[in-house]
Amino acid sequence: MFVIGLTGGIASGKSTAARHLAACGAHMIDADTLGHRVYEAGRAAFEQVVATFGEDVVGEDGQIDRRALGGKVFGSPERLKQLTDIAWPGILAMAREEISKARGDGASVVVLEAAVLLEANWQSEVDEVWVVMVDPEVAIARATARDGIDEAAVQARIDTQLGNAERVALADVVIDNGGSETELLARLDAEWQRGRVLILDLHTHSIKSDDGRAKVQNYCQWIRTRDIPIDGFVLTEHRQFDFESDYSALAEEHGLVILKGSEVETEYGHVLVFGVTEPLYETFDFASIGLPLEAVIEHCNAHDAVAVPCHPGRPRVGMSAHLAEHGVPKGVRIVEIYNGGSRGDEDAVAGQMAKDLGYLGIGGSDSHIVSHIGRCATEFPDPVTTEAELVQALKAERFEAIPRQH
């Protein structure tokens, strides 16, 4: 899960940015909303505020009167610090709870929207800090038009916040909002796509494989409860393709990408096939043992699919074991260089073979039981949410194998 800290000064467009990121699919946490809750009667901060600022900050409803409290701290840096020393730790604790809950719910991206993110020194709580920025003159013009307050009041609020230079120095991403809303949204979209590196386990088996012992639902639950660092997986069932199963609801429930492929058997060992369609499935017998690898590759190329020899460093069922007898096959471009089920020097053999023959490499766990999923994986810089997009990414050679992680 990736956590973005979104911040910005008054009238910077931070709230507009937050709404757009929510529309992009981010799980949103609003620190301002948490700030309202932190003072609720019964919470520790409520008692601290009353003890520090007096009983008169409590309204008729028994809750903190924020207007009365604001009057107590306005214009006094010392009193304001007293308040933030009470509020900020409570808000942070609630934000951590919300982030943890989002992780458990399967969120892939969380945005913590907090005007005081940097002032409160919360940047260590997030993976990236995104700052929405406008020049002070623009902020004043927008705030006066939007809120009906005078320039002096806006300037007073600006003076209590970090300046643009200070925010930029602490930012990972700076979103300039000096133009139109359309331009702002375009910049956000660009950063959203840039930040979405996707990690997929490209080699897994469920109970639909003859030796698989894992249910797909259990894979999903394991990934989320154990915080396995992958965004999804490809089910590569042995000697078949599962046209019937629809995992879209399960994928949505857990916030994962679940794709399907196959693992077939050739005279060079086992081969993963990505992008299986009914026309491709009819061109050769996926259940057959000892398929001709070069023919499989040709069929895949003709049907916009990709064939990838897997665990090539493994005795008997790996490609390297058959090179002496059959020679180097034509058409291979990618092999699996990291396999979660490898033993001894099998991955080293695969890696050396790939290096010697100029092949690219992917990673996959080859999981047959739940706890093995995500052991090895493959990173993609572009969105991959369908089998077609996976094939496109592999053919474009935009991926990187990730070695064993757990």
Select the more confidently predicted residue: 154 or 137: 137
CA 258 to chain centre: 14
pLDDT surpassing 80 at residue 406 = no
- Cβ burial of 388 (10 Å; 0-12, 13-18, 19+) is middle
- Span 59-101, pLDDT tens digits: 999 999 988 998 888 788 899 999 999 999 999 999 999 999 9
Query: Which position has the higher pLDDT, 197 or 288?
Result: 288
Q: Label the pairing between strands 306-309 and 269-274.
A: antiparallel
Q: Please list, residue by residue across 101-119, b when 16 or more beta carbons sit within 10 angstroms of its beta carbon and e when fewer do.
A: ebbeebbbbbbbbbbbbbb
- pLDDT tens-digit readout, 154-206: 888 888 889 999 999 999 999 999 999 999 999 998 888 776 678 999 999 99
Q: What is the helix (H) or strand (E) element at residue 324, kind and residue range?
A: helix 323-326
User: Quick one: angle between helices 44-53 and 66-73, nearest 10?
Assistant: 50
pLDDT band at residue 227 under the 50/70/90 scheme: confident
- Determine the 3-state secondary structure of 284 from DSSP: coil
**CA angle, corner 37, sides to 107 and 174, nearest 5?**
50
pLDDT (tens digit per residue) in 334-345: 999 999 999 999
Angle between helices 136-147 and 151-159 (to 10 degrees): 130
What per-residue confidence (pLDDT) applies to 157? Answer: 83
The pLDDT-based confidence of 299 (bands split at 50, 70, 90) is very high
Are the beta carbons of 359 and 338 closer than 8 angstroms? no
Which pLDDT score is estimated for 106?
65
Q: What is the pLDDT of residue 74?
A: 78
The owner of tokens 């903190």 is: 64
Give the CA distances from residue 366 to residues 89, 113, 339, in Å, rounded to whole numbers and listed in that order: 44, 39, 6
Looking at every residue in the chain, the average pLDDT score rounds to 94
When mean pLDDT is compared over 44-53, 181-190, 301-310, the highest value belongs to 301-310
Q: Once rounded to an integer, what is the mean pLDDT over residues 348-367? A: 98
Q: Residue range 210-233: average pLDDT?
A: 94
Neighbours of 304 (CB within 10 A): 14
Sign of the CA dihedral 112, 117, 118, 121?
negative
Asked if 376 contacts 363 with a C-beta cutoff of 8 angstroms, the reply is yes
Give this prediction's pTM. 0.60
Per-residue pLDDT averaged across 266-272, rounded? 99
Structural domains of the chain, with CATH:
2-194 (3.40.50.300), 198-402 (3.20.20.140)
Identify the pLDDT of residue 358: 98
Q: What is the rounded CA–CA span in Å between residue 274 and residue 307?
A: 7
Q: Is the pLDDT of residue 370 over 80?
A: yes
Query: Average pLDDT in the 132-154 region?
Result: 90
Residues 106-119 have pLDDT tens digits of: 677 899 999 999 99
Confidence grade of residue 321 (pLDDT, cut at 50, 70, 90) = very high
Q: What is the mean pLDDT of residues 359-366?
A: 98
